[in-house]
Amino acid sequence: MLENCKILKNECIGESYNRVVFSAPGICPKVKPGQFVHVQIANLREKILRRPFSICDVGKKGELTVIYKVVGEGTAVLATLPAETECSIMGPQGIPFSIPAKNEIPVIVAGGYGSAATYILAKNSPVPGKILMGARTSADLLLTDEFRKTGFEVLLATEDGSAGEKGYVTKLLETIIANPPSGNIRYYGCGPHGMLMSMGKMLVQNGLDGELSIDHLMCCGIGACYACVVKVKDETRIDGWRYARTCKEGPVFSAKNIFHD
Ligand SMILES: Cc1cc2nc3c(=O)[nH]c(=O)nc-3n(C[C@H](O)[C@H](O)[C@H](O)COP(=O)(O)OP(=O)(O)OC[C@H]3O[C@@H](n4cnc5c(N)ncnc54)[C@H](O)[C@@H]3O)c2cc1C
Ligand code: FES
């Protein structure tokens, strides 16, 4: 659906990220973890091109939270918008993560803003699990306390060693795969492309599967333009693969179904 949403709050959090809260009472009740909103940023020159953002959280009164990093013109303009500014929001879009069953332990691997995108999954999980959170440096780690409050165990990795294990977050995943907690584990991933590809490869090589949220450049966000395709396995095709639109058939894909480049 399309909704004109007023900004309730738009603020810096830490050194690298901003948090914007929209009033979106129409969209919020429909949101499932892993979905995104396609936001038309007010005051942007090419306003017509929306920008996709994962939904971090929704509140009972229709508050929709997005955490974003300024990387280009759209996000730079978004960061300047004061409360009361109205933006047109399309959503919720995309295939969500599945909610873990009561007998499953969720293990989430999150890099960068992947923590924001999976926070709502942790909040909705019937059983707390583990989040393996990675970032370049400790200042880029997001929502660690909020995850702890959901009961999740938070394990950290930073590339510069300023918090947790030094190195990539996939090192933590390697340890979990080698010594898994007892029970049925459901793996989830959200983060930079390289992290997801390496996570997917690791799962599949160990005979496991997982749900990976693939973040791709998008244009229409509704499956019409094919700007956002990734190669997925498809045994019904002669060559065994086809292109899938991440905005409509994703962003969440099974690790077994994608090619890990
Ligand atoms: C499903 C989905 C969920 C997302 N969720 C979030 C989120 O929760 N928080 C957040 O900060 N960002 C998120 N993104 C990325 C966000 O959409 C882009 O950062 C934003 O569109 C950049 O807009 P811009 O005009 O500022 O930058 P542009 O000028 O459009 O681009 C600036 C730079 O960022 C790169 N870039 C743009 N979009 C992407 C992308 N999708 N993936 C990788 N690089 C990109 C461009 O190649 C360029 O180098 C998400 C993207 C997708 C597809
Ligand atoms: S962005 Fe147009 S089809 Fe996905």
Proximal ligand: closest to the CA of 51: 1
- Inter-CA distances, 238 with 96, 233, 234, 235, 241, Å: 29, 11, 9, 7, 8
Please tell me the predicted confidence (pLDDT) of residue 14: 82
List per-residue pLDDT tens for the chain, 261 residues long: 999 999 999 999 988 899 999 999 999 999 999 999 999 999 887 777 999 999 999 999 999 999 999 999 999 999 999 999 999 999 999 999 999 999 999 999 999 999 999 999 999 999 999 999 999 999 999 999 999 999 999 999 999 999 999 999 999 999 999 999 888 999 999 999 999 999 999 999 999 999 999 999 999 999 999 999 999 999 999 999 999 999 999 999 999 999 877
CA of 92 from ligand 2 middle (Å) equals 15
Q: Report the distance separating Cα 155 and Cα 46, nearest Å.
A: 40
Q: Report the distance separating Cα 96 and Cα 251, nearest Å.
A: 8
Ligand 1 test: best mutation among 22, 53, 195, most atoms within 8 Å of CB? 53
CA of 60 from ligand 1 middle (Å) equals 28
**Cβ–Cβ under 8 Å, residues 200 and 173:** no
Give residues (CB < 6 A) around ligand 1. 36, 51-54, 66-69, 71-75, 113, 116-117, 215-218, 251
Same fold for the domain at 2-93 and the one at 104-214?
no
Please tell me the predicted confidence (pLDDT) of residue 18: 97
> Which residue carries 């909704």 as its tokens?
3
Proximal ligand: closest to the CA of 220: 2
**Residue 68 CA, closest ligand 1 atom number:** 11
Please tell me the predicted confidence (pLDDT) of residue 260: 78
Candidates 3.40.50.80, 3.90.1200.10, 3.40.50.720, 2.130.10.10; CATH matching 104-214: 3.40.50.80
DSSP H helices in the chain: 73-78, 114-124, 144-149, 170-178, 193-205
**Residue 223 CA, closest ligand 2 atom number:** 3
| Domains in the chain: boundaries | 2-93, 104-214
Which neighbouring-strand residues pair with 65?
A: 21, 57
Q: Report the distance separating Cα 56 and Cα 121, nearest Å.
A: 9
Please tell me the predicted confidence (pLDDT) of residue 190: 98
The SS3 call for residue 146 is helix
Q: Report the distance separating Cα 32 and Cα 29, nearest Å.
A: 9
pTM score over 0.85: yes
Q: Report the distance separating Cα 258 and Cα 241, nearest Å.
A: 9
Please tell me the predicted confidence (pLDDT) of residue 182: 87
Please tell me the predicted confidence (pLDDT) of residue 181: 86
Please tell me the predicted confidence (pLDDT) of residue 42: 92
Ligand 1 test: best mutation among 21, 22, 43, 51, most atoms within 8 Å of CB? 51
CA of 80 from ligand 2 middle (Å) equals 27
Please tell me the predicted confidence (pLDDT) of residue 64: 98
Class (C level, CATH) for 2-93? mainly beta
**Cβ–Cβ under 8 Å, residues 131 and 105:** no
